[in-house]
Structure 1
Amino acid sequence: MKELNCTGINPEETMSDIGAEHFFNRELSLLAFHQRVLSQAKVEHLPLLERLRFLCISASNIDEFFEVRVGGLKERLEAGIHTTGPDNLGPAETLELINHRAHELVTTQYQLLNDQLLPLLHTAGVHLLKRSAWSKAQKQWLHAQFEDEVLPLLSPMGLDPAHPFPRILNKSLNFIVQLEGKDAFGRNSGMAIVPVPRGLPDMIRLPNELMPDGGSGFVFVSSIIHEFIDDLFYGITPVGCYQFRVTRNSELFVDEEESGDLRRAIEGELVYRQYGDEVRLEVAENCPDVLVNFLLKQFEMTAADLYRVDGPVNLNRLNHIIELAERADLEFPTFNSNAPRAVQKKESLFEVIRKQDLLLHHPFDSFRTVVEFLRQAAKDPQVLAIKQTLYRTGPNSVIVDALVTAAKAGKEVTVIIELRARFDEEANVALSAKLQDVGIHVVYGVVGYKTHAKMLLIARRENGILRNYVHLGTGNYHTRTSRIYTDYGLLTANEAVGDDVYRIFLQLTSLGKVAKMEHLLHAPFTLHKGMMKRIEQEIIHARDGKPARIVAKMNSLYEEHLVRKLYEASQAGVEIDLIVRGVCQLRPGVPGISDRIRVRSVVGRFLEHTRVYVFHNNGDPEVWAASADWMERNMFHRVETGFPILYKRLKEKVMRELDYYLQDNCEAWVLESDGEYYLQAPPEGEVRFSAQEKLLETLTRS
């Protein structure tokens, strides 16, 4: 029997009391995060177009939730798989709970749009014009636009035995139209489907001269089609026209063991993503029941899958107002992040990194430093080889351009591309072909394991000796998201770290075993064990009466063994602060179980994406950053890296910045033991403190 901890509780006996009630459901926790994002659209002190942006982000998030999470649950049900997770909820029970909460969330989205955002935008001179509000001049101009730019692209599909219900693309916008009168062949017409072509813009801006009261006017292209729908049905009368959209299961299924060529297998599967099983039907609120029931029957869905919406189907289309309005006064102030001071003083990044490790915190520290590092490597005659992992890069990537330049300069360039990066598969397939065309060695990772690690290795000959320079990150090599995601990136010439990174690249290309590494932790082999070991070390310190603390920041916490270990640590006396942006399986604040665990989620201007873990270690803190969240898939089904921050000054930087998040009293949501989050507000008389705003104020002072 283990000795009693300082609370007098036997850990083994207490841990046996850990049951399903101590674990939150993953899907419901994810929905709660989407609700927190939506709540940002209600924050009155935020710029108005940014509030609209948060509404659109929440709509996009819900789309992916249905495509992936709901689609997966329905797939399990159809396959007769009823296994439960630690929360003891199976797919059927989870879907029932999702149905209730998702409907509530969607209702809130449209109430917020109609009751707050659109009226406020109108007052600010940004007008989303409904058809009923068009002036005669506006209608004439829009009709001309319809005839010239829209009508030639439309293909209405009348429904009869020779024209069955068409296949509807995933998330495409469509109209179902009721018709009266005889068709060209003397038959009674009934219904037609009008798909809105994806090549059309979602929205157009009216010319300023058509806005006599000033301001800017915007019209959905779908509204234009609706208004002039009669032009599509010569001699037949449309008596009803209603928007609808179907969401489909978008997970790809590729048998990696059987496929001889992973890239070709994925290319083949991408075609079918648009026609996966239906999981949600959105229709205009005023659509008659007879048409709604007709659509449900066609898609083989039930009333639980139906979402009637009081406004435009697909709120994400409202993003175009932000793009077209040109109203900087209604958006966040722009900021310019710079390179660290040490970099600004030197032309050669190799010289800087050779003298000291650099820890970049994006977007507060510029991602241009990483880009410039690779650009210098591509042109440097002393650089012989470059190895890099790519998960998401974005279009027109300067990172990719630098790799191409390096290959053309005769350097040995090897890139590990993860073809299965969700919703980026098509872009990554094209990228792999582009890189291979210039002689870059392209590897597609490991069968059965996504390569999610963010690593860059540059081999440079200096004074006759090869030296490795390394970049390790918590986020992707994606220049656009580096402006809106928070991430850490480490640049180092540490010999042992370089050797460790080289060994991981060697394994990814040769598939051989990795020798024991000196510094890095490596999923699926040592990362989970390494985290468990360090939590256990804090438990030992606590039982020995020493100070013990863990501060961990991540996107998701959903790995049963780590959660149970944190419960054990809490019972042993370890103080634990968790900053978990999204899914959190752990239930904090339960007496005798997790009363020393506090959980918060920070939702602000930037998407919190850093994964950093601090273990007090009896006054000699261990600070780790990683590409991995504490999730089962990251620990056991992906190639990930966890890397230590070795230098005291950089450790202090991370701990200081984590403390900002723990001080945050205006953008932090605190998780209660009942599963509810509440937005922390500054107590009366206390100054408002935002971690992200503080970091913006202290740009590049590290």
Structure 2
Amino acid sequence: MSMPHDNLLNRELGLLEFNRRVMAQAEEEYLPILERLKYLCIVSSNMDEFYEVRVAWLKDAAQNTPERILADGSTPAEALAKVSAAAHELVREQYRLLREEIFPALRADNIIFLRRNEWDAAQKAWISDYFFRELMPILTPIGLDPSHPFPRLLNKSLNFIVELEGADAFGRESGIAIVQAPRILPRVIKLPAELAADGADTFVFLSSILHSHVQELFPGMLVKGCYQFRVTRDSDLSVDDDDVKNLRTALQGELRQRQYGDAVRLEIADTCPAHMEEFLLHTFALQKHDVFRVDGPVNLVRLMQVPDFVDRPETKFAPFQASLPDILEKKTPLFDAIRKGDILLHHPFQTFQPVIDLLTQAASDPAVVAIKMTVYRTGTDSVLMESLIAAARAGKQVTVVVELMARFDEEANISWATRLEDAGAHVVYGVFGYKIHAKMLLVVRREEGQLRRYVHLGTGNYHPRTARLYTDFGLMTCNEEIATDVNDLFVQITGLGRAGELKHLYQSPFTLHNMITTAIDREIEHAQAGKPAQIIAKMNALLEPQVIRALYRASQAGVKITLIVRGVCALRPGVEGLSENISVRSIVGRFLEHTRVFYFYNDKAENLFISSADWMGRNFFRRIETCVPILDTKLKRRVIREGLKVYLEDNTNAWEMQQDGSYRRRVARGKGRCAQDMLLQEYTG
């Protein structure tokens, strides 16, 4: 039985709605100004990936399967038209906000971005010296003619199209040249303090420097115009299942081509004349709706580096010191502390350090005989990976399941896989066709003549930097049954054989989806029997149609359902006769909400789980995921309060989803309550 299309919302439009909520943070005048700038940069970063992956997919579908009907009932071409209109509206508002609010507010705080017409004589002299010293030697202008075809431009690189008049030394009169800005150079340059007025932090754009000196690149010719542009390309990777013998080798070949995929978006300066725009569109085989004319830098992501150059605490969020669990504050040795009882970590309010300590201590502990770990995203510089390498070199049995297909982290993961193998670790790439998204760490230690297993299971990646920026839960335990489940999962991933029955854990692609739908059906039964029935779930995305269908049935049966979905949600809440008992809210704040928590009242049993999985088709059926119950009563109460209830009380950063997929900001009545601030206050003082 298929679901009526008008009961599902479009995924891509939902992602754009999320970006609107992020951009709304940049509008908040009470936030520190450099944090507002960061939110604007995050929107640009999100839009880059949106075009590289989702729009690229839509374009491919529109071309190759035009009759396909998407989940919301639209064809790919229809969806693409709606997405393009919404994206252009969002970007227009983004640049208006930058010009009319962010830049003036920065200037009011003595953080100044100088335009070319504002440079004084001393500044012009310094900038000219910078051009000839740092830029000129590494620029390669390319005049277009039969011997110099249009250059192969990297994905998202900054480029300039230059209109020329006259003939060069060889008599060539092409009229057009391309100048590529070297990626190694910063896109914003801070002027020396002596050139800044009144102690201001003063910046100029690399594009402004090149614009002002572009004539130097074409001596004897007249530069009629110079316009920045940037092309975004399809960056999703695919490896042919039937033609791959070594995944790492195959992926390395794909990565070399990623930067040169098909063009999907063109960003150009709003001053670029129509004939130059048409030339670029023809060159990249794009249509008019693929063009974004912007009044400002074509790549706002690069402004993310500006806060690093400004030493003004009042322009940024106040720093905080993440706390330790009480038992670790008492300096109890880590393995001893875990034996005394399960430890719950709530990042970033509580530090990620115990996870790092678990691995670093295991690497040097002579009692530890084996370590097993999954790696999805961990960064290019990771103390965790270094500890695994040290453990392998120390002769311990180290097994690392590295997900090579973690989008945009493929190169880093290939590098770590190579280093781990060189150190003597067993490195496997999971199960071909299924991404390893589970977050599992298993340490085997010999104690009093017997082996004891210690486990960490989390909702977030083993990435110390993002653990300070994302909200996540992690559970440290030596519960033997959970440890056995985790070990069985590692054996299942690295070896061959059928999936066995687990005691406590649920996993994708085998049991997690069925557990969720069964738990929903159980609440329906309770409601039909006249008992209280309730579901509260927090996740990053909700798209899977069977789960949405089950939630609709539960609503119709009278189950109270509260969903906290950070990003895209295909479910329509509050529709009479369909979902009037379902409410959906989204929290966008200082930290990226990343926890996955599932609560089912179950006739007072209150079943509670934390998971690595969102409620999406890929998480249920095309990834290896874990979902672990919180068994300890005290920890269960903590997760319910910290992971769910405080977010339902939030009236500052909360957005309530409407039936049509739009969102309305929750307006505080009386005292404002911000979930993240409350947790910061509780754990960091």
The verdict on a shared fold, with TM-score over 0.5 as the criterion, is: yes
The CA distance in 1 between the partners of 2:288 and 2:347, in whole Å, is: 45
Structure 1 segment 245-394 matched on structure 2, within 5 A: 245-394=230-379
- Secondary structure at the aligned position of 2:197 is classed as coil
Please say if residues 170 and 246 of structure 1, whose CA atoms lie closer than 8 Å, have aligned partners that are also in contact: yes
The CA distance in 2 between the partners of 1:585 and 1:460, in whole Å, is: 45
The CA distance in 1 between the partners of 2:448 and 2:173, in whole Å, is: 87
Structure 1 segment 651-670 matched on structure 2, within 5 A: 651-657=636-642, 658-670=644-656
Q: Name 2:421's counterpart in structure 1.
A: 436
Change (3 A) 1:320 1:391: same
Residue 567 of structure 2 corresponds to residue 574 of structure 1: no
Please say if residues 666 and 690 of structure 1, whose CA atoms lie closer than 8 Å, have aligned partners that are also in contact: yes
The CA distance in 2 between the partners of 1:319 and 1:700, in whole Å, is: 26
Residue 100 of structure 2 corresponds to residue 115 of structure 1: yes
CA RMSD of the aligned region, Å?
1.1
The CA distance in 2 between the partners of 1:302 and 1:86, in whole Å, is: 26
The residue identity in structure 2 corresponding to 1:393 is T
**TM-score of the superposition, structure 2-length normalised?**
0.99
The residue identity in structure 2 corresponding to 1:674 is D
**TM-score of the superposition, structure 1-length normalised?**
0.96
Please say if residues 452 and 639 of structure 1, whose CA atoms lie closer than 8 Å, have aligned partners that are also in contact: yes
Q: Name 2:667's counterpart in structure 1.
A: 681
Q: 1:91-116 CA deviation, whole Å, 9 max, x = no partner? A: 11110000110000000010000000
Kindly state the Cα deviation for residue 213 of structure 1 after the two structures are TM-superposed.
3.0
Q: Name 1:126's counterpart in structure 2.
A: 111
Q: 1:507-535 CA deviation, whole Å, 9 max, x = no partner? A: 11103222100000010000000111111
Q: Name 1:695's counterpart in structure 2.
A: 679
The CA distance in 2 between the partners of 1:503 and 1:577, in whole Å, is: 34
Q: Name 1:633's counterpart in structure 2.
A: 618
Structure 1 segment 294-693 matched on structure 2, within 5 A: 294-657=279-642, 658-683=644-669, 686-693=670-677
Please say if residues 320 and 684 of structure 2, whose CA atoms lie closer than 8 Å, have aligned partners that are also in contact: no
Please say if residues 268 and 292 of structure 2, whose CA atoms lie closer than 8 Å, have aligned partners that are also in contact: yes
The CA distance in 1 between the partners of 2:496 and 2:97, in whole Å, is: 52
- Secondary structure at the aligned position of 1:199 is classed as coil
Counterpart pick for 2:129 among 130, 135, 144:
144
- Secondary structure at the aligned position of 2:241 is classed as coil
Change (3 A) 1:374 1:700: farther
Q: Name 1:200's counterpart in structure 2.
A: 185
The CA distance in 1 between the partners of 2:20 and 2:156, in whole Å, is: 21
- Secondary structure at the aligned position of 1:666 is classed as coil
The CA distance in 2 between the partners of 1:227 and 1:198, in whole Å, is: 19
Kindly state the Cα deviation for residue 185 of structure 1 after the two structures are TM-superposed.
1.3
Q: 1:453-505 CA deviation, whole Å, 9 max, x = no partner? A: 00000111111111111000000000000000000000000000000000000
Counterpart pick for 1:62 among 30, 47, 64:
47
The CA distance in 2 between the partners of 1:83 and 1:17, in whole Å, is: 15
The residue identity in structure 2 corresponding to 1:310 is D
- Secondary structure at the aligned position of 1:553 is classed as strand
Please say if residues 391 and 452 of structure 1, whose CA atoms lie closer than 8 Å, have aligned partners that are also in contact: yes
Counterpart pick for 2:72 among 87, 91, 107:
87
Larger displacement relative to structure 2 (585-594 or 199-208): 199-208
The residue identity in structure 2 corresponding to 1:688 is G
Q: Name 1:135's counterpart in structure 2.
A: 120
The residue identity in structure 2 corresponding to 1:117 is I
The CA distance in 2 between the partners of 1:552 and 1:700, in whole Å, is: 26
Change (3 A) 1:461 1:23: same
| % identical aligned pairs | 53
Structure 1 segment 206-225 matched on structure 2, within 5 A: 206-225=191-210
Please say if residues 176 and 241 of structure 1, whose CA atoms lie closer than 8 Å, have aligned partners that are also in contact: yes
Kindly state the Cα deviation for residue 18 of structure 1 after the two structures are TM-superposed.
5.2
Larger displacement relative to structure 2 (220-229 or 522-531): 220-229
Please say if residues 340 and 700 of structure 1, whose CA atoms lie closer than 8 Å, have aligned partners that are also in contact: no
Please say if residues 520 and 550 of structure 2, whose CA atoms lie closer than 8 Å, have aligned partners that are also in contact: yes
- Secondary structure at the aligned position of 2:446 is classed as strand
Kindly state the Cα deviation for residue 603 of structure 1 after the two structures are TM-superposed.
0.1
The CA distance in 1 between the partners of 2:196 and 2:575, in whole Å, is: 59
Q: 1:389-411 CA deviation, whole Å, 9 max, x = no partner? A: 00010121010111112112211
The CA distance in 2 between the partners of 1:193 and 1:500, in whole Å, is: 58
Please say if residues 357 and 493 of structure 1, whose CA atoms lie closer than 8 Å, have aligned partners that are also in contact: yes
Q: Name 1:6's counterpart in structure 2.
A: none
Unaligned ranges ≥5, structure 2: none
The residue identity in structure 2 corresponding to 1:171 is K
Kindly state the Cα deviation for residue 236 of structure 1 after the two structures are TM-superposed.
1.3
Counterpart pick for 1:234 among 205, 216, 219:
219
- Secondary structure at the aligned position of 2:671 is classed as coil
Counterpart pick for 2:34 among 15, 40, 49:
49
Please say if residues 587 and 594 of structure 1, whose CA atoms lie closer than 8 Å, have aligned partners that are also in contact: yes
Please say if residues 41 and 50 of structure 1, whose CA atoms lie closer than 8 Å, have aligned partners that are also in contact: yes
The residue identity in structure 2 corresponding to 1:312 is P
Q: 1:45-88 CA deviation, whole Å, 9 max, x = no partner? A: 11100000000000100010000000011112222353223311
The CA distance in 2 between the partners of 1:17 and 1:482, in whole Å, is: 40
Unaligned ranges ≥5, structure 1: 1-15
The CA distance in 2 between the partners of 1:205 and 1:625, in whole Å, is: 45
Kindly state the Cα deviation for residue 160 of structure 1 after the two structures are TM-superposed.
0.9
The CA distance in 1 between the partners of 2:207 and 2:659, in whole Å, is: 45
The CA distance in 2 between the partners of 1:475 and 1:693, in whole Å, is: 20
The CA distance in 2 between the partners of 1:212 and 1:540, in whole Å, is: 71
The CA distance in 2 between the partners of 1:330 and 1:212, in whole Å, is: 19
Please say if residues 202 and 320 of structure 1, whose CA atoms lie closer than 8 Å, have aligned partners that are also in contact: no
Residue 149 of structure 2 corresponds to residue 164 of structure 1: yes
Please say if residues 256 and 262 of structure 1, whose CA atoms lie closer than 8 Å, have aligned partners that are also in contact: no
The CA distance in 1 between the partners of 2:331 and 2:171, in whole Å, is: 81
The residue identity in structure 1 corresponding to 2:665 is L
Please say if residues 66 and 77 of structure 2, whose CA atoms lie closer than 8 Å, have aligned partners that are also in contact: no
Q: 1:115-172 CA deviation, whole Å, 9 max, x = no partner? A: 0000111111000111111111001001111111111110000011111111111100
The CA distance in 1 between the partners of 2:313 and 2:428, in whole Å, is: 43
- Secondary structure at the aligned position of 1:623 is classed as strand
Please say if residues 523 and 600 of structure 2, whose CA atoms lie closer than 8 Å, have aligned partners that are also in contact: yes
The CA distance in 2 between the partners of 1:190 and 1:417, in whole Å, is: 50
Please say if residues 191 and 204 of structure 2, whose CA atoms lie closer than 8 Å, have aligned partners that are also in contact: yes
Please say if residues 38 and 54 of structure 1, whose CA atoms lie closer than 8 Å, have aligned partners that are also in contact: yes
